[in-house]
A = this chain, B = another copy of it.
């Protein structure tokens, strides 16, 4: 259960880190959208390991194949299935894992839930699962761009205690991609990279915060009650591996203001558009987009897999020590950026179709 996401634009991911492969089936995609494997690959390449010196040296080409739903370069309206084969497996790296539970990993909970587990790597809890999300997100982004010129841009806002200065209203994808840590604050990016490298050399890991902005989101997207736009986005990003917190707009800091200080006053702009002076709401009021930029942040914990030795237990409960042998990211943040973008785009695209279906028919 729980491998499907979305209501009208709906994706189902499948696959473990070891086995035949990972992928996604996208149901409900509008027909006649031009899309190619190359476009999808671009996003997958932003996600893939081994892309830079601060990500895991595992070489996973992660080449995607579109199995269905696209014909002569256009979507058919039928399910788009995308498959990425698994490669470069080094099962010997994982031998210990058949026995020992990695701290703060899902090994023990999968065993508790299912009574069985593919112990050759993370199995279904591996970050490889996000390949399907990012592939689907590439399509969602294209629909959003085409229908409403929506842009979804994520970036590293903070690595441990190094916090960048970035203006969400103007940041560009080029700026994000200008360095390997994906922090558009260039100077700080250098220090972040240094910190990640140094931490990796120590066999340890660090976390941080990804911020994401969605611009040009049409007013009216979102739903009033359970499927509030911020609720669906919260679920979307909190379902990413290693995420521990979520904020929309003013977030936790907003709780330190009074209502008078916090409220976003309205005005009418030069085009007669109703706007807000400030944007502490983060672009959403009552669960529905108000036309301002949607701004959100996601906290990612330090990578659980580290080379430093830690106490743990075996499947049978015997106490033991474990030092990870595989090749792992000392910091997931740079690769988390396209994942966050994908999840936000999936939510917005689903709500775009839902809104169109219900509210633009009479």
Contacts and interface: CB of A to CB of B under 8 A. Distances in A.
A155 B116 CA distance: 37
B274 A8 contact: no
A49 interface: no
A166 interface: no
Given A226-B3, A288-B109, A311-B267, A143 B362 contact: yes
24 contacts: A2-B228, A14-B69, A22-B68, A32-B362, A71-B118, A78-B124, A103-B276, A104-B281, A106-B287, A109-B284, A113-B219, A113-B220, A207-B255, A231-B235, A231-B236, A234-B246, A244-B251, A244-B255, A245-B251, A247-B252, A254-B299, A254-B302, A258-B302, A259-B308
B353 A101 contact: no
A15 interface: yes
B76 A220 contact: no
Contact of A67 (B15, B69, B317): B15
A124 B268 CA distance: 25
B67 A158 contact: no
Nearest to A13: B225
B245 A116 contact: no
B262 A301 contact: yes
Interface string A270-296: 001010110011101111111100000
Q: How many copies does the complex hold?
A: 4
A318 B225 contact: no
A65 interface: yes
A43 interface: no
B263 A304 contact: yes
Interface residues of A, number: 159
Contacts of A358: 1, 8, 28-31, 77, 353, 357
A59 to B, nearest CB: 21
A330 to B, nearest CB: 8
B2 A225 contact: yes
A95 interface: no
Given A220-B109, A252-B299, A304-B259, A354 B357 contact: yes
A258 B199 contact: yes
Contacts of A300: 255
A101 to B, nearest CB: 6
A125 interface: yes
A96 to B, nearest CB: 14
